[in-house]
Amino acid sequence: MFGLPTATVAVIFGIPAIWVIYTLVFVYLSRGWKAEDVAEDQELISRNASGGNRPNGPATSANQDRRSGTENGGLA
Amino acid sequence: MNLETWFLVIYFVAMAGIGVWTLKIGNKDSEGYLLGGRSLGPAVTALRLQSSSMSGYMFLGAGSLAYTKGYFSLWYAMGDIGGGVLNLSILGRRMRKLSQILGSLTSIEYLEHRYPSPWIRAIAAPVAVFCIFFYVMSQFIAGGRGLEMVTGIPYAWALLIAVGVIVFYTFLGGYLAVAYTDFVQAIIMLIGMVWILIGTLQAVGGWTAGNNAVGEINPNLLTMWGPEGIGSVQWGVIIGAVLVFSIGYMGWPHVNVSHMAMKRPSVARTASMYATGFNLLFIPAPYIVGIMALIILPNLDNPELAVFQVADTVLPNFAVGIVMAGIMAAIMSTADALLLQSGTIASQDLFQRFIKKDMSDSQSVWVSRFTVLILAIIGYIVAVNDPPAVAEVVIFSTTVLGAAFVPVYVAAAWWKKANVPGAISSMVLGTVSSVVWQLTGLVDATGVDPMGIGIVCSTLALILVSLATQKSHPVPAHVVAALKETDKIGAIPAHMLTGQNDALAAQVPKDA
């Protein structure tokens, strides 16, 4: 096929096919990850309601507003 | 000024424009400058990850390898195609979540938080900066040479322009500028590469006709065993070739930082589809163009210029300009990511961690910028005076990075027993074994790739030393709690979010 030996065709089409299958299986198995987004949104709403609003939403790490000396990395 | 040069000028101005556009966000604080405020979606994450992984090597090294080795060179592409999805599926969600819980801003800092000891950063940061500096220098050289070829500007000036544009937008906008320029550059790379491929296949009368013509030169070039046939196959090199560009990515700090900058942990899922799609379209193309160059340009003096020269031969003038912009995009997208990462490591992981612990956010950003500038100047001086071979430097530095860091990054997210002594011994043994294997000529003597040896040594060291030192150096309870939280699918509880502080190695969650 394509003027190539069979082994070459098998490798250059077979291995990419494996990666495509791997991707599809990963996407299928990780379908539950969307639940994490919903949970994060709910967490954000509850934080906002309790006055803990963050400047960049749920994605922002704690260091945005925990750099004070009293926090001391959560040791306080 | 010719048409190709105009395209490059427009391209350079556009990249600088993105730097100016992201200036405001980049200046806000360290998290804004270093991680783009953890705001990136799947498309930007995936294409940034892919374009920063694929350097000028794809246009220089891949074409050269294909020109000299034929279809054997596609072993590198076979690993490369799965590199993105492998990285995103294994590290993506977990590294994003764990780095947020631990309050890590850099990929080296993340290692110290996961393996709480200042030695982790004291070892990881210099190894990373050393390898990244050489890697970025090779990209400067590739950029300078490419620009010299297209515009006819002397190499020293071409290099200065290439370095100047990269530094300009990295300096201004930080991670966000790098991420958005990488996203645009990935698209330009794809368009450019596919265009060259189509033009090349048209020029040789189609893929089948081209393969038949290559087979007349040497039938072994059509096999996966190299020009000397199956008798000369070094399976160790083939396995190493697949490993370098598949699992090797998981050890590259400048690539792994993409996970930490994702808007949400679940972004990794969608990003994996973009990554695989991009790789399928982009990665095989330069290799096939390199092979077909044997027919179009049979007497090429420098095989590294195969893709450049084929583009110049088979495409119309205006298309050559766009394609050259794509080639510069591949070079610049890697160089900017490397430059930012080395600046980040120097400022956050070395200066702030060990020298001036009470630096403000603003000071930290400026130290990072100053470091970017200093490294660029040193890189320029070395590259202009005594430029080493691009492919050799790239393969050497990426091999050491992979061997040193793949096991510690994977175990950081997945193995609760991975502890400080295990991580230190893994990084040291991975670095030393891959460097020694490369420099003492054992690759040729044994036929085994240094990446393979390095990964085996660093993995065994991590497992054996971690298990042997569980009692004397147990994994801290707050790290185990963070890993358990990372296992779960759900929002991170507020009490788990640890603040960043100067005593990073000792940080624990609020309720610990």
ipTM: 0.82
Task: Give the confidence band of A68 by pLDDT, cuts at 50, 70, 90.
Answer: very low
Q: B298: alpha, beta or left, given left = phi > 0 and alpha = psi -120 to 50? A: alpha
Residue B140 has pLDDT above 60, yes or no: yes
**Nearest-neighbour CA in chain A from B311: distance (Å):** 23
In the prediction, which pLDDT does A19 show?
95
Q: Residue A73 corresponds to which tokens in the numbers above?
A: 């990395």
Residue B332 has pLDDT above 70, yes or no: yes
Mean pLDDT of B73-84: 90
Cα separation, B290 vs B270, whole angstroms: 32
The answer to whether the CB of B59 falls within 8 A of the CB of B286 is: yes
Nearest alpha-carbon partner for B411 in B510, B303, B344, B486: B486
b/e map A47-75, b = 16+ CB within 10 Å = beeeeeeeebbbbbbbbbebbeeebebbb
Residue B277 has pLDDT above 50, yes or no: yes
- Tokens 């990794």 belong to B268
Cβ-defined contact of A35 to B489 (cutoff 8 Å): yes
Q: Residue B171 corresponds to which tokens in the numbers above?
A: 């300096």
In the prediction, which pLDDT does B29 show?
56
Residue B498 has pLDDT above 60, yes or no: no
In the prediction, which pLDDT does B483 show?
92
Cα separation, B340 vs B332, whole angstroms: 12
> Highest mean pLDDT range out of A63-72, B302-311, B385-394?
B302-311
In the prediction, which pLDDT does B172 show?
66
| pTM score of the predicted model | 0.81
Residues of chain A with C-beta less than 8 angstroms from the C-beta of B498: 62, 73-74
Residue B230 has pLDDT above 80, yes or no: no
Residues of chain A with C-beta less than 8 angstroms from the C-beta of B209: 3
Mean pLDDT of B174-183: 71
Mean pLDDT of B302-319: 83
In the prediction, which pLDDT does B414 show?
94
b/e map A12-39, b = 16+ CB within 10 Å = beebbeebbebbeebbeebeebeebbeb
Cβ-defined contact of B82 to A18 (cutoff 8 Å): yes
Mean pLDDT of B493-510: 49
Greatest alpha-carbon pair distance for chain A in Å reads 71
Cα separation, B36 vs B426, whole angstroms: 31
Mean pLDDT of B404-425: 95
In the prediction, which pLDDT does B501 show?
41
Q: Which one of B37, B78, B210 has the shortest CB-CB distance to A56?
A: B37
Q: What are phi and psi of B225, to 5 degrees?
A: -110, 0
Q: Which one of B37, B223, B491 has the shortest CB-CB distance to A8?
A: B223
Residue B502 has pLDDT above 80, yes or no: no
Find the range with the poorest average confidence among B18-22, B79-83, B118-122, B331-335. Answer: B18-22
As a whole number, the mean pLDDT across chain B is 81
Q: A-B interface: how many C-beta pairs under 8 angstroms?
A: 174
The answer to whether the CB of B309 falls within 8 A of the CB of B324 is: no
The answer to whether the CB of B78 falls within 8 A of the CB of A16 is: yes
Residue A57 has pLDDT above 60, yes or no: no
Mean pLDDT of B194-201: 91
In the prediction, which pLDDT does B512 show?
33
Mean pLDDT of B347-352: 74
Residues of chain A with C-beta less than 8 angstroms from the C-beta of B365: none
> Highest mean pLDDT range out of A41-55, B179-193, B409-423?
B409-423
> How many CA atoms does the CB half-sphere of B152 hold within 13 Å?
6
Q: Which one of A18, A42, A66 has the shortest CB-CB distance to B499?
A: A66
Cα separation, B224 vs B210, whole angstroms: 17
Mean pLDDT of B356-367: 74
Cα separation, B424 vs B120, whole angstroms: 6
Task: Give the confidence band of A73 by pLDDT, cuts at 50, 70, 90.
Answer: very low
**Residue B262: strand pairing partners:** B40
Q: Which residues contact B256 (CB under 8 A, 6 or more apart)?
A: B87, B91, B95, B107, B250, B409
Dihedral angle sign, alpha carbons of residues B399, B402, B405, B411: negative
Residue B165 has pLDDT above 80, yes or no: no
Beta strands in B411-497 (DSSP E): none
Beta strands in B207-271 (DSSP E): none
In the prediction, which pLDDT does A51 show?
56
Comparison of pLDDT for B53 and B239, the residue scoring more: B239
Q: Which residues contact B298 (CB under 8 A, 6 or more apart)?
A: B217
Cα separation, A72 vs A67, whole angstroms: 8
Cβ-defined contact of A12 to B100 (cutoff 8 Å): no
